[in-house]
Structure 1
Amino acid sequence: MEDLPTDPGLRPRITNYSPNDQDQVRRAYLLAGPCQPRDHAFPQKIFGNKLRRFNKDWFGLYSSWLEYSVSKDSAYCLCCYLFNPDIGDQTGGDSFVGEGFSNWKKNDRLQSHVGGSNSAHNQAVAKCQDLLKQKQHIQTVFEKQAKHDEDDYLIRLNAAIDCIRFLLRQGIAFRGHDESENSSNRGNYLELLKFLADHNDEVKAVAFGNAPQNVKLTSPDVQQDIVTAAASETLKVIVEEIGDALFSILVDEARDISVKEQMAVVVRYIDKKGNVIERFVGIEHVSSTSAISLKEAVEKLFSRLGLSISKLRGQGYDGASNMQGEFNGLKALILKDNLSAYYVWCFAHQLQLALVAVAKNHEDIAMMFFVTNNVVNVVGASSKRRDILRGKHAAKVVEALNVGELASGQGLNQETNLKRPGDTRWGSHYGTLVSLITMFEAVIDVLEIVRMEGPKGDQRTMTRMLLGSMQLFEFAFTLHLMRTILAITSELSQALQRQDQDIVNAISLVKLSKKRLQHMRDDGWQSLFEVVSTFCEKNEIIVPNMNERFIAQGKGKRKAPKITNLHHYQVEIFYNVIDMQLLELKTRFDEGTSELLLCVACLTPSNSFF
C-alpha cells in the first residue's frame, strides 16, 4: 500500500489489482485523499486565441473528488476511478478516469460530471463513503464478531487451564462417575469449573450453556489435550534447566490398574545455584520388565527429551534382579554405553529388602508376622471391636496406675489402638509390634469375645488358632526380638527417608545400626530373655525350662532334634535372626558403594543423599 502511485495519471486501473486487494487499495486512496498539488505552477495551453490553465480554486469547489495529474496536466475524479472504472459516455465518458480531463475552456464540465443525485459519480461517492464507514462494512462486522468470539474463547480456555493446573498440582482425579447435566456431582474438573463460573461473572458469561456447542472445553479429550500440553511445557522447562549438566536417573517399575507394566523415571541434577534437584520426567510403558526392554525404554525417553546418555553419572534402582543384576541387568547394559554411570541403590529400599529377607526366610519370624497380621485383621474388622479394644486397654491402664505399675504424667498413657502394618513398608511393622505388646492383655480379651460371640465358621476357627499361638512363649519371644531389631532399623529407616539427609550422615547411620545390632548379638541375650520372661509372667504364658529338651509344636519327641530350649531360642532364633539381619545389611550396604558415595560427596557442591 505504501508504494501506490499518488499521481492519478500514472495509476493503473483499479481492475488491474487482485479482487482480494481492491478494497484495500480503495481504502488507502480514500484515506490519503485526492491528489491536489495546490502549490504547483500549472502550465498554460492555447484554446482558440486565449491561454488557459487549470484553476487551483476548483480544488475548493470539488475538494472531495477532484484530482490533478502533474505528469499529464489533466483533471481526474478519485471516486469514479475507484468505483466506476467503465462508465461509458455518461458525464464525459472516460475523461475523468482514464485519459483525464484537460479542456480548461469548458470548465462547466466539472459540474456536469457530478450530475444528478443518481448519477454514476454520486453512486461512486456513496460507495466511497460506505467503504470509509468501517463499523458498517461487512468485513468489519465479521472481524468484530471474530474478535469477540476469540476473546470469549480465551476467557473460557484460561478458566479451563486454571482448573486443570489446580487439579494437577493437588494430584486429584478429573473425571466423575456421572457427568451428565442432571448429576449432583459431575466430577472434580466440571464441578471446579462451575464453582469458578459461579464466582466470576466474566467466566460465567462464556462457560457451559453460554458457550458454543463445539467449544465448551469440557470434554475428556479437551482435558487430556490440556494436561498433555502442561506436561510438555513442564518437561521443556526441566530439560532446559538441566542443559548440558551431568545428571543421574532413578527408575522403578510397577503395574498400573490395567495390569500394564510401567516404568517411572526421575532425573536428579544440580542446578546453577548448587541445589540438588529431583524431577519426575515420565512413565514409560514397557512390554516386559527384562533388562533389555527397560534399557530400550530409557533410550526412547532420553531421545524424546533430548538428553544424552553420555551425561549420565548415576543409576538408582530397587533391588529386583532384572534391575540390579550384575551381568544382564539394566545397570550392566547402561554401564556398557557409559562407564561413568555408576550404580547406587536407594538406601531406604535396601533396608526395606533387608527386613523382608529376614521376615520371609526365617520360619519362626515368618510365623510370628503371620499371626500378628491376622490378629490386626480380626480385631480391627469392625469399629465395634476397636471400641471394645480401646475400652479394655483403658481399664488395664487405670488398673496399672492404681497399683503403681505405670507412671502418670503429661503425654503418658495416651489412648491408642492396633496399628495396621503396610505390606510395602516393613518399617511400619515396628509400630504394630509395639502396639501389640502394649495392648496384649486387651487383645487377648477381645479375641476371647470374638471366639465366644463372633460369627460361627472360619472366623471362630481362626480366632482359636490365634489365641493358641499368641499364648506360647515362642510367639512372645519372637515378638520382642523383632520389636528390638525393628527399633534399631526403624530409626535408620526414618533417617534415610528424610529429604534433607546427606550422604555422609546416611552412611554413618548405617554403620551405627550395624554396630548396635552386633552389640545386641554379643550382649543382648540376657536382657531380652528377662524382658520376655517378665512379659510372660504378667500374661500367664508358660516359660519353658531352658535346660530341658526342646520339643517343637506339632512334632513328637522321637523326631525332635536333641537340643535344649536354650539352644533353640538363643542359637537358632536369637543369633540366627540377628546374623541374617547383619548379613543382609552388609551385603546391601557394601563398602564399595559407601566409598563411592563418599567420593561423590567430596566432589559435589551438595552432599544431599542420592
Structure 2
Amino acid sequence: MRRFNPLWYNEFGTWLEYSESKDAIFCLHCYLFSCEHGDGRGGHDAFVAEGFSNWKDKQRLYKHIGKVGSTYKLCFSAAKDLMNRNQHIDIVMSDISDKAKHDYRIRLNGSIQCIQYLIRQGLAFRGHDETDASMNQGNFVELVKFLCESNEEVNNVSLNNAPENLKMIAPSIQKDITHVAASLVTRAIISDIGDNFFSILVDEARDISTKEQMAIVLRYVNDNGEIIERFLGLVHVSDTTASLLKESIELIFAKNGLSLTKIHGQGYDGASNMSGQFSGLKSLILAENNSAYYVHCFAHQLQLALVACAKKVYALTDFFNFIPLVCNVVGASCKRADILRQKQLEELVKNIASDDVQSRRGLNQEMSLLRPGDTRWSSHYRSLVSLCTLFDPVLDVLEIVKDDTTLVHAKRSEASALIMRMETFEFVLLLHLMIKVLAITNELSQALQRKDQDIVNAMSLVKVSKVLLLKMRDNGWDNLFQMTSEFCIKHDIDIPDIESALALQGRTKRRGTVTHLHHFKVDIFYAVIDTQLQELNDRFSEVSSNLLECMSCLNPYNSFLAFDKNKLCEFASYYPSDFDLNDFVMLEYQLETYIVDVQSDHDFLNLKGIADLAKRMVEKKKHIVYHLIYLLVKLALTLPVATVSVERAFSAMKYIKTTLHNRMGDEWLNDCLVSYIEKDVFDSIDNESIMIEFQKLRPRRMIL
C-alpha cells in the first residue's frame, strides 16, 4: 500500500503518531526527549522533524526502534519514567505512611461500593445539601453513613475519623468515580466488538429539562455468535440537522476509537419528529460507507402505516382526533374515574344476571380507559379496545358531565357533542374497523420489542400482516358490517338504510349522490386498507427488499429449505469491502459443501433462526471451516430490525434525570446511563480497576 496503513497502530501503537495534514508519521517519544538523548542515529530526525512517509519501506519502522541503547530506547525509557506517577519528586519526597495509604484505600473502596449500589438501582446521588448539618444529604452520603455503621473497619477511617480533605464524599469525587465506571464499561464494550463490523441505532428524545438528547446503540455479533446490542452513549444536540447529528456521532466514535467504515447497518425510528433529519443522516453516512445499509424500524413502521396513514382518510382523521377528547373528558378528575368504575361494575352485574358474560376467577377484571400515544407500541389498539369494552360506562359518564350544572357551559357542550358523535353508526363502524386492522399486526409489534428478534422472522411476520390485510379487504366487509350492526342494536344506536342516499354537506354535493353503502364500504373500508397496504410496500426500498430476501436464504428452519446459492452470492455482492474477487469464487464452492454438511448434521436440525445458526456454527467450529458463510450470517444478524434498545435507554433516562434532579450535566447523565443500562458489563468490573483509573484521572492528594 502506497499510503499509511492503520494496522501499524497494532504493532507500533506505543509511539506512532500519524498526521493527516502532513501525511506522515512521527515518533512521540523521540519528539519529546530526542533533544536530551538524540545522537543523530536511527533516522530519528525523520520521525521528529520532517515526518516519515516512505510507505513501501516498513522496515524503517523497525530500524527506528533499534536495539538496546538506541535513541528510541532511551527516549522510551524517559517517557515511561515521566508517566510513572510514583517516581515524581512530590511523591518520592512525601512522608505519607503506609497506614495512611491503607486508610485512604478503604475510604475510596467504600465510596465506590456505595456508588455501585446507587447506579444499579438507578437512584439519584445528590441531596439538597450535603453538609453535616443538613437533614437532606442525599442517597450517597446516607449510604456511606450506613456502611460505616455496619462495617467497623470502614467506620474507623471514614467520615468523622477521616482527614477533612480526604473523606471521599465530595460531589467531584462522586462524579469522578461515576465517570471512571462508565469509561471502563465503554472500554469493555469496545474491546468486545474488537475488529468486527457493527450497525448503529440512533434516536432522540427530550429529557426532563427539555434538552434534545440523542442515544446511540451499537449492534454486533460477538465471538460466541450471539447478537449483542450495547448502549454507547447519550449526546446532547443543540440543533437537529443531519450534519450536526453526523458530527455528534463522529465525535463519540473518535472518543471511543471507532470508525464510520465499520458501520454495516443503520436503524432509526421513523416515527420520530426528527425523521426527516434521520433520512439526511443515513444519506451522509452512506456517502462515506456504501455498506451502511438502512433498515427502517419495523415496529414504528407499523405504527406509521396503520395509524398515521389511516389518518389520510378524512373520516379517520376526525376519528383519531376524537378519541383523545373522550379520554380527556372521562379521565379529567378522580371523581369521574370513580364514576366510570362504578358504572362498569353495574353493567357487569347486569350482564352476569342475564348470562351475557361468564363469571370465573380471573375474568371480568376492572378496566380503565387508556389514552393513545403516537410513539408507544400498540397504544392505539389497546385504547380502542378499552373504549369498545367500556362503551356504555363512558356514555354514562359523559351524560353526567353534560347534566352537571356546576361546570362551565363549554365543558357541558363538549360532553354533549361527544355523546352525539359516539352514538352514530359511522363512529361504531370506524371503531371496529380500526380494532380489526390493528389486531392483525399487534402480535408483530409485540414480537419486535424482543431483543432476540432476527430480521428473517420479522420479514415473515410483515408478509403475514400484508396477507391478512388483503384477505380482509376481499372478504371482510360483510363480517365487519354484521359486527357493527349487532353492536349498535345492543347499545340502541340507529342503523341507517345502507341503500339510501347519504346527505352530503357543502361543496361535496357537486360530486353527485352516493349511498351509505358506498360511503362506508368504498370511502372508508377500502380506502383505509388500500392506504395501509401501499404504505407498507412503499417503505421497503428495492435495495433493502433484496437484502432481506437474500438473507432469508440463510434461515435454517425446516432443514435449510430456503437455501438458495445464487441469492446468497448476490447477498455477498452488496458488501464489496468484505468480499474480494477471490472470495466470490471461493464462496460459490463453499456454499455447495456447506449445505450438504449442515443438512446431514443432526446438530443443525431444529434450529429456529439465523441467530441460533450463528451460535451453533461457533459451538461446532464451523465458523472456521466456512468462514465466508459465517461472514454472511454475521452481516445478516448485524442489520437492525427495531430500535427497541434505544427506546429502553430513554426509559432509563427518566429514572436517572428526574424532576428533582433536572439540572444534571450532560456528561454526568451519560456516565450514569452507561453504567445503569449495561449492568452486566458494569458488574464484571472489579473495584481495583476503578480505583486505578480513578487515581489516573487527575492528580490526587494521596497516591495508592
TM-score normalized by the length of structure 1? 0.71
CA distance in 1, matches of 2:333, 2:116: 39
Matches within 5 A, 1:142-291: 143=95, 146-179=97-130, 181=132, 183-291=134-242
Aligned counterpart, 1:576: 527
**TM-superposed deviation, 1:241:** 1.2
Aligned counterpart, 2:493: 541
Q: Secondary structure at the match of 1:548?
A: coil
**TM-superposed deviation, 1:532:** 0.9
Q: Which amino acid aligns with 1:378?
A: V
CA contact (8 A) 1:427 1:493 kept: yes
**CA distances 1:285-334 after superposition (whole Å, capped 9, x unpaired):** 33422222122222222211111222221111122543453xxx122221
Q: 1:318 aligns with which of 269, 285, 289?
A: 269
Q: 1:486 aligns with which of 438, 452, 470?
A: 438
Aligned counterpart, 1:72: none
CA contact (8 A) 2:433 2:525 kept: yes
**TM-superposed deviation, 1:556:** 9.0
Matches within 5 A, 1:116-127: none
Q: Which has the higher contact order (CA 8 A, sep 6+)?
A: 2
Matches within 5 A, 1:502-521: 502-521=454-473
**TM-superposed deviation, 1:527:** 0.8
Q: Secondary structure at the match of 1:604?
A: helix
Aligned counterpart, 1:604: 633
Which shifted more, 562-571 or 250-259?
Answer: 250-259
Which shifted more, 219-228 or 418-427?
Answer: 418-427
Q: Secondary structure at the match of 1:240?
A: helix
**CA distances 1:569-588 after superposition (whole Å, capped 9, x unpaired):** 11111111111111121122
Q: 2:380 aligns with which of 429, 437, 456?
A: 429
Which shifted more, 519-528 or 499-508?
Answer: 499-508
Q: Secondary structure at the match of 2:309?
A: helix
Q: Secondary structure at the match of 1:221?
A: helix
Aligned counterpart, 1:63: none
CA contact (8 A) 1:507 1:594 kept: no
Aligned counterpart, 2:503: 551
Q: Secondary structure at the match of 1:316?
A: strand
**CA distances 1:68-99 after superposition (whole Å, capped 9, x unpaired):** xxxxxxxxxxxxxxxxxxxxxxxxxxxxxxxx
Quickly say closer, same or farther: Cα 1:155–1:494, change in 2 above 3 A.
same
Larger Rg: 1
CA contact (8 A) 1:289 1:322 kept: no
CA distance in 2, matches of 1:465, 1:193: 60
Aligned counterpart, 1:475: 427
1:413 paired to 2:442: no
Q: Which amino acid aligns with 1:519?
A: K
Q: 1:368 aligns with which of 310, 315, 319?
A: 319
Q: Secondary structure at the match of 1:315?
A: strand
**TM-superposed deviation, 1:149:** 2.8
Q: Which amino acid aligns with 1:354?
A: A
CA distance in 2, matches of 1:558, 1:595: 47
Quickly say closer, same or farther: Cα 1:449–1:296, change in 2 above 3 A.
same
**CA distances 1:487-523 after superposition (whole Å, capped 9, x unpaired):** 1122211011122222211110000001111111111
CA distance in 1, matches of 2:477, 2:234: 48
CA distance in 2, matches of 1:557, 1:265: 50
**CA distances 1:525-556 after superposition (whole Å, capped 9, x unpaired):** 1111111111111112111111122235x759
Number of corresponding residues? 467
Quickly say closer, same or farther: Cα 1:558–1:597, change in 2 above 3 A.
closer
Quickly say closer, same or farther: Cα 1:518–1:252, change in 2 above 3 A.
same
Q: Secondary structure at the match of 1:307?
A: coil
Q: Which consecutive unaligned segments of at least 5 residues does structure 1 have? A: 1-141
Q: Secondary structure at the match of 1:342?
A: coil
**TM-superposed deviation, 1:205:** 3.0
CA contact (8 A) 1:350 1:589 kept: no
1:349 paired to 2:300: yes
**TM-superposed deviation, 1:470:** 1.4
CA distance in 1, matches of 2:356, 2:291: 61
**TM-superposed deviation, 1:211:** 3.0
CA contact (8 A) 2:235 2:248 kept: yes
1:448 paired to 2:402: no
CA contact (8 A) 1:550 1:560 kept: no
**TM-superposed deviation, 1:219:** 2.9
CA distance in 1, matches of 2:393, 2:496: 24
CA distance in 1, matches of 2:228, 2:405: 54
CA distance in 2, matches of 1:387, 1:353: 34
Quickly say closer, same or farther: Cα 1:190–1:175, change in 2 above 3 A.
same
Q: Which amino acid aligns with 1:567?
A: H
Quickly say closer, same or farther: Cα 1:409–1:240, change in 2 above 3 A.
same
CA distance in 2, matches of 1:258, 1:587: 37
Q: Secondary structure at the match of 1:206?
A: coil
**TM-superposed deviation, 1:375:** 1.7
Q: Secondary structure at the match of 2:264?
A: strand
Q: Secondary structure at the match of 1:248?
A: strand
**TM-superposed deviation, 1:600:** 4.5
Quickly say closer, same or farther: Cα 1:291–1:557, change in 2 above 3 A.
closer
**TM-superposed deviation, 1:191:** 2.9
CA distance in 2, matches of 1:184, 1:472: 60
**TM-superposed deviation, 1:410:** 4.2
Which shifted more, 514-523 or 293-302?
Answer: 293-302
Aligned counterpart, 2:335: 384
Aligned counterpart, 2:291: 340
Which shifted more, 174-183 or 380-389?
Answer: 174-183
Q: Which amino acid aligns with 1:322?
A: G
Which shifted more, 228-237 or 555-564?
Answer: 555-564
Aligned counterpart, 2:354: 403
Q: Which amino acid aligns with 1:506?
A: A
Quickly say closer, same or farther: Cα 1:428–1:303, change in 2 above 3 A.
same
1:462 paired to 2:462: no
CA contact (8 A) 2:310 2:528 kept: no
Root-mean-square deviation (CA), in Å? Answer: 2.7
Quickly say closer, same or farther: Cα 1:361–1:189, change in 2 above 3 A.
farther
**TM-superposed deviation, 1:485:** 0.9
Aligned counterpart, 2:78: none
CA distance in 2, matches of 1:404, 1:357: 40
Q: Secondary structure at the match of 2:235?
A: strand
Quickly say closer, same or farther: Cα 1:360–1:207, change in 2 above 3 A.
farther
Quickly say closer, same or farther: Cα 1:351–1:557, change in 2 above 3 A.
closer
CA distance in 2, matches of 1:454, 1:416: 28
Q: Which amino acid aligns with 2:249?
A: V
Which shifted more, 292-301 or 455-464?
Answer: 455-464
Q: Secondary structure at the match of 1:264?
A: strand
Q: Which amino acid aligns with 1:265?
A: I
Quickly say closer, same or farther: Cα 1:291–1:607, change in 2 above 3 A.
closer
CA contact (8 A) 2:402 2:412 kept: yes
**TM-superposed deviation, 1:607:** 4.8
Aligned counterpart, 2:628: none
Q: 1:300 aligns with which of 251, 262, 287?
A: 251
Quickly say closer, same or farther: Cα 1:215–1:465, change in 2 above 3 A.
farther
CA distance in 1, matches of 2:99, 2:512: 91
**CA distances 1:31-77 after superposition (whole Å, capped 9, x unpaired):** xxxxxxxxxxxxxxxxxxxxxxxxxxxxxxxxxxxxxxxxxxxxxxx
**TM-superposed deviation, 1:335:** 1.6
Q: Secondary structure at the match of 2:123?
A: coil
